[in-house]
Structure formats: structure tokens, C-alpha cells
Structure 1
């Protein structure tokens, strides 16, 4: 009986940690990239972009950790992935 209580407590603690991490990431304010912006990127967490079937400029977002381990979000513009096929 004690083992199942310990396991349940561990699972509950793990779920709370995951919830806090997700909540902290949701509260990060995105920075918009401008030419010359200093970037302190230690590890990229995710890269997303607007879905576009055609070739052109799309909005993209990078979520990353800086050298202090703080989550950062960067919005920027890039060529859509569809542009790379013929070039």
C-alpha cells in the first residue's frame, strides 16, 4: 500500500513540474529580430513558421534557451521552405 502512495505522489509532483514549465514558457514575451540584434542562443527548443504552399516571405518563431538557461522567443521573417526546391 505504501509503494502505491509513493508512486502516486511522484506522479503528482512530476505533473506539477510539467505544468509549471509550460506556464513559464507561455509567459515569455517574444522579441522581434532586427538586423544587428544580439542573440545569445545556447539551445534551440523549437522552430515554427506560417504554413505557405508558395515561395515567399513568411513569419517564423524560434524558442530557445540562452546561456543563463532562460527561455526566450524570437519572431523573424524568412523564405518559406517551398522556396528551397528549385533554388
Structure 2
């Protein structure tokens, strides 16, 4: 087997792994945070927030891996990152 074929097979395998992890993240049903929600966060994958007023409450989502390696998502409310005065 020549080296070009080996490199192509490795590239194809890497792309498939990336595609599977992206699909797994897209298929996660987010949980809505309430006071007392048990959080099992091993690693944060991403933090996003809705665009909103320059300063105010916005919806946000935390995507993370739990201690079992499963992708989880959590919706919550927070002050916008644009709030700088007194916060």
C-alpha cells in the first residue's frame, strides 16, 4: 500500500470522527437550569448567549461533557456580557 493511500485513509477517518462528534452535540436535548439542578460538568465545550440589549438579561447555553464523557447542554438566563457598570 502506498503512503498516499494511507494518508487519505487517515484523513477520511479523522473527518468522520469530527462529523460524529458534531452530530452528537447537535442532537443533545438541552436541560433548563433551575435552582438546585445537579451539574456533572467534567469539561466545558462551549458557552453561547443570545444577542440582546447592550445590558440586560439574555438566554445562554452551556454545552459540556459530563463525567461519563456524554455531551450535555444547559439553558439558563444571565446578564449580558455587555453589562460592565456595577456587575
Q: In structure 1, what is the Cα distance between the partners aligned to 2:20 and 2:82? A: 37
Gaps of 5+ in 2: none
The TM-score normalised by the length of structure 2 is 0.92
Which structure carries more helix by proportion? Answer: 1
4+ residue segments displaced more than 3 Å: none
How many residues align? The count is 86
- Structure 1 gap ranges (5+): none
Q: Give the TM-score of the pair, scaled to structure 1.
A: 0.92
Other structure's SS at 1:35 match? coil
RMSD, aligned CA: 1.2
